[in-house]
Structure 1
Amino acid sequence: MSESKRETERKYEPSSPGADGVPDLTGVGPVASVVPAGHGELDAVYHDTADLRLAGASVTLRRRTGGPDAGWHLKLPLGGDTREELRAPLSDDVPGELRALVLSRTRGAELVPVVRIRSARAVRHLRDAGGGVLAEVSLDEVCADSLLAGGGRAEWSELEVELADGVSAALLDRVEKRLRKKGVVRADSPSKLARALRDTGAVVGPAGPCGAVAGSPGWYVSAYLREQAGILVALDPAVRRDLPDAVHRMRVTCRRLRGCLRSYRSVLDRRVTDPVRAELRWLAGELGEARDQEVLGERIGGALADLPDELVLGPVAARLRAWEVSRGADARARACEALSTSRYLRLLDALDALVRQPPLRAGAASGREDTMARAVLKEYGRLAGRMEHALAQPSGRARDTELHEARKAAKKLRYAAEVARGALGKPVARLGSRAKSVQTLLGGHQDAVVAQDTLRQVAVAAHEAGESAFTWGVLHGLERAVADARLAELPAVWRAMSRPALRAPLGR
């Protein structure tokens, strides 16, 4: 299993070569002293696909020798100056675990050496008054050799400031202010790899234009699809590592993509998008069991922890743990297996194709206000129909089912509103917020209904094992009370969603 750490760093062009090019940073914020921390020789070979798919996604995979952290390093972008670095022991080939974590980017293409970077490094530590390390400042003399056909060599100096764990990012701003005063400017490349590829002649192809007219419905829809497809790919490593909330976020991203493709059929040709929607539905289904299991276990466990001791009879906690383990492992395995299939990789390729060349219809080019507003209002109409039908049902299983369908309709309206926010402004943003309120309320009701079914099953199993089912019955009653309470709130929340009047803001 690989080790993981977050690194927050910035890179600069030193004012002059050599160690003397590092300005004195003593007195910058909490920095009480600057202490030399040695020299080292680092040798790293970076791996990527032949067409540099990892570099295009700001992901780096390297095999490094020298220094205290020799081994394989995979760096994933987290936003801003922060990346997550995953480390694996030194070996000849790319470790299987790291290979799997980049699969959503490589799509199974071979990983090959693309550039070798050697650095002569001089390190200094920025320390606080108590001697604790706040940051590490490294001055590197870098030599990069392309390992691709026709590539060249590049050499440069680089100053790097990396925060220690737990240190506020505000220190970077203070350090940078001092550096600027001394003539040291930010590097124009975010990483050594990016500069090495650029300066040795490699071309990292940026995503091309989608072909839609700026400000048109096709432009807004394509931009949303590009954003969500990128999120889906970026979440893949977190799902494989079973990180908290990762499965939920990927599942929601599938829904957002499906909702966009469904709501904006007037913009995109459904003959192309409907098969993609079907595959997104499949993926969300494969992820759903793991997410539902996680939410349900947390819900029941929290309710059990809140019960007074006198209401907990029998080995209730042990039975709950056994239930979670028996179901949770299978659900997580199913999710990971789905991400390892060729079907999943074909879906990612299909999303890429949609983003690169969206199948634009006539309505994609003009009539932004009318096209976007009609799509949102159509989803509102579907929700209104669902709500009216559900609220007219008598209490029971049929009404619960209809309320669940209304919840899904509220999600679709919310996602359609997200797509149109840039075109229609505050009115559609308010509508999306109100749709979320309805969705949240109906979600609370549905969660309580599902929990009741599960609690009854666990109670039956406990009874058949000769255990008391009393506590499970108490929890069942509490969940029923929650469902009734959410239902009582629903009419007022729904009334707040009067039919919206949507138009584009003036000046758009």
Structure 2
Amino acid sequence: MTADRVGTRAGMGTNHTETERKYDGGPLPRRLDELPGVAAAEPVEPQDLDAVYYDTEDLRLLHRHVTLRRRSGGTDAGWHLKLPLDGDSRQELRLPLDAAEAGEGEGEAAGEGERAAPQEFAVRVKAFTRGATLVPVAHLRTRRTGVELKDEEGAVLAQIVEDRVTAQVLAGRPTAPGDGERGAEPSGPGSGDGSPTEVSGWTEIEVELEAAGTADLLDRVDAVFADAGLFRSPWPAKLARALGPDRARSAAPAALPTGTAGALVMAGFREHLARLLGLDAAVRRGEEDSVHQLRITTRRLRSLLRVHHRLFDRDRADHLADELRWLGHVLGDARDQEVLGEQLLDGLGAVPDRGRRGALRTLRALVTERYDRGYQRAWERAVATMDGPRYFTLLADLEAFAADPPLRARADRDATEQLSDVLRHEQRRTVKRLDRALRSEPGPQRDEALHRARKAAKRARYTAEDGRRPALSKRARKRTRTFGKRMKKLHKVLGTHQDSVVERRELSRLAGQDATTAPHAFAYGVLHERERERADAAVRRLPALRSRAARRKPTRLA
């Protein structure tokens, strides 16, 4: 199920991965066509580019390596949003120049007469702007010349351009990083009226891979440039250079000693946080499966904090875990409607028609409409909550925790020892809960006990999956993977049982609502019996899975 949101229509813009490197100075070296694999270096038509860069007054986008600009001139005029990926790559999204005219005011520029950022892009960066207004912060004019490197068949491998840039920083003067991060609006000075205050200029070279190019070409170009006295620029983006080092600096995450428990755990924490921030836009745009994936990510973060709680300051870790639990509940209603609707429709496909084909078709339409509507309403409530201060504060707290984790002395212990200890603990916890459930008589009490065992198996699985890091030995990684696979199988079977419990409860509720409709009651009865059989089959598999999950060898990592 997906939500019907403005800005999610296919074909509104383009999306591609940009891989480039920047170098200080110029001019371009000669004989670029002598590079291995390059048959020609053909000049490109000179371009005059005019770009206005948008950010919050305290530069929340720049400090997260995100770029938003409106550029005219050249071959790619339009609105551009660049999001960080690994290495030299970024995800670049483009919209036409008039895209903002179709927006509804989200991210509206502060100055009278200034253009608003397109709603599509304002929504995509809301996890970073967090209610602060997007304003023009710099105006760059660029004279671009360069060459295209082509292979023997004429395919473009890369474009190498020399940019002569004139930059104006716009008032209000952007404030220091971090100001206003926890509130709806930054507290620093500046009017954001778009008037120029500072002017600078420089020359730089960009090397961008095209579709036919490969990453090793960048390294070959790098060597040629080094021979010519051209070296990689310390500036990640033109906007950063225009604003200068004081305003463009981003706080680097605290470096942690390699091979320690703290380094192992925080690597997982930072990965999950990056995924959470990326999924924020997907949920707001109503993308398929986005609510589910964001909910999984919040659970993984919370699980990590709970499992490794002895490594952290207890108060801060507990507070974050509690807030992540709250976020999971915010997303829960939408996910529940999504799952129930999908399961009921899947089940109805297996109901024999017995002359009731028309009634079953009507019931399928009723179920589709009911749960689509339920999902839409729950999704709208979730997004409204994600526009509130509690959610934005949680994001800021997560980033602060990732940048400077409140580690205790225990975090300096060996990573393998830490992981062995927590895997054994999670194993004992899971098996104990499962044994208690299997000793119970069938009924609601056992269903609840199996649900608790499922949550324990899930946490054990997440712990193992987060622990598979290069810092561990090959044997430790192999055993951790084995343990994780066993817990995943157990978790999935217990999940099948829990899904059946929830669906049978929902079917009983629906049968009570539609009691006067005989064909519907028949279908609900068939589905209820089918789900009971599915639950019983899951329970029959548990003893064997329990035996495998309880084996100690996979937790002995050292």
TM-score between both structures, scaled by the size of structure 1 = 0.82
Work out whether residues 7 and 85 of structure 1, in 8 Å CA contact, stay in contact via their aligned partners in 2: yes
Work out whether residues 65 and 84 of structure 2, in 8 Å CA contact, stay in contact via their aligned partners in 1: yes
Q: Is 1:326 aligned to 2:399, yes or no?
A: no
Distance 1:372 1:20, change over 3 A: closer
Q: Is 1:202 aligned to 2:245, yes or no?
A: yes
Q: Is 1:147 aligned to 2:147, yes or no?
A: no
Task: Choose which of 519, 537, 541 in structure 2 pairs with 1:489.
Answer: 541
- In structure 2, what is the equivalent of residue 374 of structure 1? 421
- In structure 2, what is the equivalent of residue 116 of structure 1? 139
Task: Choose which of 505, 520, 526 in structure 2 pairs with 1:453.
Answer: 505
| Structure 1: distance between partners of 2:221 and 2:149 | 18
- In structure 2, what is the equivalent of residue 430 of structure 1? 482
Distance 1:380 1:458, change over 3 A: same
- In structure 1, what is the equivalent of residue 299 of structure 2? 255
- In structure 1, what is the equivalent of residue 342 of structure 2? 298
TM-score between both structures, scaled by the size of structure 2 = 0.76
Task: Choose which of 51, 68, 71 in structure 2 pairs with 1:64.
Answer: 71
- In structure 1, what is the equivalent of residue 192 of structure 2? none
Deviation string for 1:363-415 (max 9, x for gaps)? 22235444433222222221111101111111222211111111100111122
- In structure 2, what is the equivalent of residue 176 of structure 1? 217
- In structure 2, what is the equivalent of residue 5 of structure 1? 14
Distance 1:487 1:189, change over 3 A: farther
Work out whether residues 26 and 162 of structure 2, in 8 Å CA contact, stay in contact via their aligned partners in 1: no
Work out whether residues 144 and 196 of structure 1, in 8 Å CA contact, stay in contact via their aligned partners in 2: no
Work out whether residues 5 and 85 of structure 1, in 8 Å CA contact, stay in contact via their aligned partners in 2: yes
Q: State which drifts further: 15-24 or 106-115.
A: 15-24
Q: Which runs of 5+ in 1 are unaligned?
A: 164-170
Work out whether residues 154 and 200 of structure 1, in 8 Å CA contact, stay in contact via their aligned partners in 2: no
Work out whether residues 369 and 503 of structure 1, in 8 Å CA contact, stay in contact via their aligned partners in 2: no
| Structure 2: distance between partners of 1:175 and 1:296 | 49
Q: Is 1:360 aligned to 2:407, yes or no?
A: yes
Task: Choose which of 417, 436, 442 in structure 1 pairs with 2:464.
Answer: 417
| Structure 2: distance between partners of 1:83 and 1:399 | 48
| Structure 2: distance between partners of 1:305 and 1:19 | 66
Distance 1:393 1:134, change over 3 A: farther
Q: Is 1:89 aligned to 2:89, yes or no?
A: no
Distance 1:110 1:402, change over 3 A: same
- In structure 2, what is the equivalent of residue 227 of structure 1? 271
| Structure 1: distance between partners of 2:458 and 2:431 | 13
Aligned residue type for 1:201: G
Task: Choose which of 527, 538, 541 in structure 2 pairs with 1:475.
Answer: 527
For the aligned residues, what is the CA RMSD?
Answer: 3.9
Distance 1:146 1:16, change over 3 A: closer
Aligned residue type for 1:488: R
The alpha-carbon deviation at position 267 of structure 1 amounts to: 1.0
3-state DSSP of counterpart to 1:463: coil
The alpha-carbon deviation at position 125 of structure 1 amounts to: 9.6
Aligned residue type for 1:173: T
Work out whether residues 40 and 121 of structure 1, in 8 Å CA contact, stay in contact via their aligned partners in 2: yes
- In structure 2, what is the equivalent of residue 244 of structure 1? 288
Distance 1:425 1:40, change over 3 A: same
Work out whether residues 124 and 138 of structure 1, in 8 Å CA contact, stay in contact via their aligned partners in 2: yes
Q: State which drifts further: 401-410 or 467-476.
A: 467-476
Deviation string for 1:226-253 (max 9, x for gaps)? 2222221222111111112221121111
Deviation string for 1:141-190 (max 9, x for gaps)? 34141516667322234343444xxxxxxx33289389859957999469
Task: Choose which of 328, 340, 344 in structure 2 pairs with 1:284.
Answer: 328
Aligned residue type for 1:10: T
The alpha-carbon deviation at position 259 of structure 1 amounts to: 1.0
Q: State which drifts further: 312-321 or 277-286.
A: 312-321
| Structure 1: distance between partners of 2:144 and 2:542 | 63
- In structure 2, what is the equivalent of residue 103 of structure 1? 126
Distance 1:466 1:491, change over 3 A: closer
Q: Is 1:49 aligned to 2:90, yes or no?
A: no
User: Between Structure 1 and Structure 2, how many residues are aligned?
Assistant: 493
